[in-house]
C-alpha cells in the first residue's frame, strides 16, 4: 500500500467515526454560549458545567454500550436512586461503617441489573417492556421501602457516621485549582469513558457487543453468547448507577426516595447525540461523553445566559435538536465521502 493510500484510508476512518458530528456540535454549543452568556467562561462556571455533564456522562457510558448492544434500560434513572437509598439505609439501620452500606448497595444494584438481563434473555420480550416494568417497580419500591424503614420519604442523615469521610473522598470530593472546581464525578466519568472505549474497541467482548446489536441471530450463529453479553451490559449499567448513587448520597448525606424519574431518557439522549443508533449495532462511548457534555453545556448555559426560565425546556429541546441535526448532517457527509 502506498503512503498516499494509507493517508486517505486514515482520513476516511476518522471521518466515519460516530462521534465526529457530536464533537462539532459540542464545539458549536460551547462557542454559542461563550458568546451569548457573560458568565459562561468563568472558571467556576466551567466547573459547574463539567459537574452537570459528569452526572449524566457516568450513566451515558453504559447506556451507550447497551444501545450499541441493541437494548434499552428505562430503569437506569431510578436505579441510581435505589443504589443511594440502599447504601444509606443499610449503613444507618445497622449503625455500620458506611463502607458496609456501599458494598451492600453494589450487590443490590448488580442484582437488579442481572435481573433485567436474565428476564430479557428468558422471555425474549422487548427490553423496552422489561425495563419499563422494573422502572415502575423500582419507583414504587424506592418510596415503599424507604417509608417502611425510615418512616419518612427521605433517608436519615449518615454524615456523622464512621467511614463517611473516606467514602466522600472517593465519591464526592472536589479539587479546586485557580477557581476551577473539579468534582470527583468528573474523574469517574473520564475513567469510565476510557474503560468503556477500551472494552468496546479493543476486546473481543466489544466485538460481541457490536455483533449482538447489529444482528443477534447472526451473532448467535457464529457462536457469540448473546444472552450473556446483554446481561453483562445490564451489569455495567448497574455498576455505573451504583457509582452515581454513592456520589449523590455522599455529597448530600440524605437521599430523597422519589428522585431519578425521567433521567433515563436524558442518558439515552446523550448516547444518541453521541452517535449511537437507536436500532443498535453502531455508536461510541466517547460520543456519549460528548452528548453528556452538550446536555450539560446547554442546560447550564441557558441559566448563565439569563433567558426566561419559563422557556427553559423549549430552549433545551431546540439546542439538542440542532445538535442532533448537525451530528447527522456531518455523518451523512462523511459516509458519502467514503
Please, is 35 exposed, middle or buried when counting C-beta atoms within 10 Å of its C-beta (0-12, 13-18, 19+)? exposed
Residues paired with 216 in a beta bridge: none
Q: How far is the CB of 227 from another protein (least distance, A)?
A: 34
Q: Looking at beta carbons only, is 48 or 327 nearer to another protein? A: 48
Q: How far is the CB of 180 from another protein (least distance, A)?
A: 11
Q: How far is the CB of 154 from another protein (least distance, A)?
A: 6
Residues paired with 177 in a beta bridge: 180
Cα 300 from Cα 307, distance rounded (Å): 11
> Angle, to 10 degrees, between the axis of helix 226-252 and the axis of helix 76-93?
60
Cα 324 from Cα 316, distance rounded (Å): 12
Q: Looking at beta carbons only, is 232 or 269 nearer to another protein? A: 269
Closest Cα to residue 288, out of 58, 92, 49, 84? 58
Please, is 193 exposed, middle or buried when counting C-beta atoms within 10 Å of its C-beta (0-12, 13-18, 19+)? buried
Pinpoint the alpha helices (H) of the chain.
3-15, 20-36, 43-68, 76-93, 98-123, 127-150, 164-171, 184-202, 204-214, 216-221, 226-252, 263-273, 285-304, 312-337
Q: How far is the CB of 57 from another protein (least distance, A)?
A: 14
Cα 257 from Cα 145, distance rounded (Å): 9
Could you count the other beta carbons within 10 Å of the beta carbon of residue 306? 11
Q: How far is the CB of 312 from another protein (least distance, A)?
A: 7
Q: Which residue is it, cell 457534555?
A: 293
Q: Looking at beta carbons only, is 121 or 258 nearer to another protein? A: 258
Q: How far is the CB of 142 from another protein (least distance, A)?
A: 9
Q: Looking at beta carbons only, is 42 or 220 nearer to another protein? A: 42
Q: How far is the CB of 242 from another protein (least distance, A)?
A: 16
Q: Looking at beta carbons only, is 71 or 259 nearer to another protein? A: 259
Q: Looking at beta carbons only, is 50 or 219 nearer to another protein? A: 50
Binding site for another protein (CB under 8 A): 39, 42, 44-45, 48, 51-52, 55, 143, 152-154, 157, 159, 248, 251-254, 256-260, 263, 300, 303-304, 306, 309-310, 312-313
Q: Which residue is it, cell 462523511?
A: 334
Amino acid at each position: 500500500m502506498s503512503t498516499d493510500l494509507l493517508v486517505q484510508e486514515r482520513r476516511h476512518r476518522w471521518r466515519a467515526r460516530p462521534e465526529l458530528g457530536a464533537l462539532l456540535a459540542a464545539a458549536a454549543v460551547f462557542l454559542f454560549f461563550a458568546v451569548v452568556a457573560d458568565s459562561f467562561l468563568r472558571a467556576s462556571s466551567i466547573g459547574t458545567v463539567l459537574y452537570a455533564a459528569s452526572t449524566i456522562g457516568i450513566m451515558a457510558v453504559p447506556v451507550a454500550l447497551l444501545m450499541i448492544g441493541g437494548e434499552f434500560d428505562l430503569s437506569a434513572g431510578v436505579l441510581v436512586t435505589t443504589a443511594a437509598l440502599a447504601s444509606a439505609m443499610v449503613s444507618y439501620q445497622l449503625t455500620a461503617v458506611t463502607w458496609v452500606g456501599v458494598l451492600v448497595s453494589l450487590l443490590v444494584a448488580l442484582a437488579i441489573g442481572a435481573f433485567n438481563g436474565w428476564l430479557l434473555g428468558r422471555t425474549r420480550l422487548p427490553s423496552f417492556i422489561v425495563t419499563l416494568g422494573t422502572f415502575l417497580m423500582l419507583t414504587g419500591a424506592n418510596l415503599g421501602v424507604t417509608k417502611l424503614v425510615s418512616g419518612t420519604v427521605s433517608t436519615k442523615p449518615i454524615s456523622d457516621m464512621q467511614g463517611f469521610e473516606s467514602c466522600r473522598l472517593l465519591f464526592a470530593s472536589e479539587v479546586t485549582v485557580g477557581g476551577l472546581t473539579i468534582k470527583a464525578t468528573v474523574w469517574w466519568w473520564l475513567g469510565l469513558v476510557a474503560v468503556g472505549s477500551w472494552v468496546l474497541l479493543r476486546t473481543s467482548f466489544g466485538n460481541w457487543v457490536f455483533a449482538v446489536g447489529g444482528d443477534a441471530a447472526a451473532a448467535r450463529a457464529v457462536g457469540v453468547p448473546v444472552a450473556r453479553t446483554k446481561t453483562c451490559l445490564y451489569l455495567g449499567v448497574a455498576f455505573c448507577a451504583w457509582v452515581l448513587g454513592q456520589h449523590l448520597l455522599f455529597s448530600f448525606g440524605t437521599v430523597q426516595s422519589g428522585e431519578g424519574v425521567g433521567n433515563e431518557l436524558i442518558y439515552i439522549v446523550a448516547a444518541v447525540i453521541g452517535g449511537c443508533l437507536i436500532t443498535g449495532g453502531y455508536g461510541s462511548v466517547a460520543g456519549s461523553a460528548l452528548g453528556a457534555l452538550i446536555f450539560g453545556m446547554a442546560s447550564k448555559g441557558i441559566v448563565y445566559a439569563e433567558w426566561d426560565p419559563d422557556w427553559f425546556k423549549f430552549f433545551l429541546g431546540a439546542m439538542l435538536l440542532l445538535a442532533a441535526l448537525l451530528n447527522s448532517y456531518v455523518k451523512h457527509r462523511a459516509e458519502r465521502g467514503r
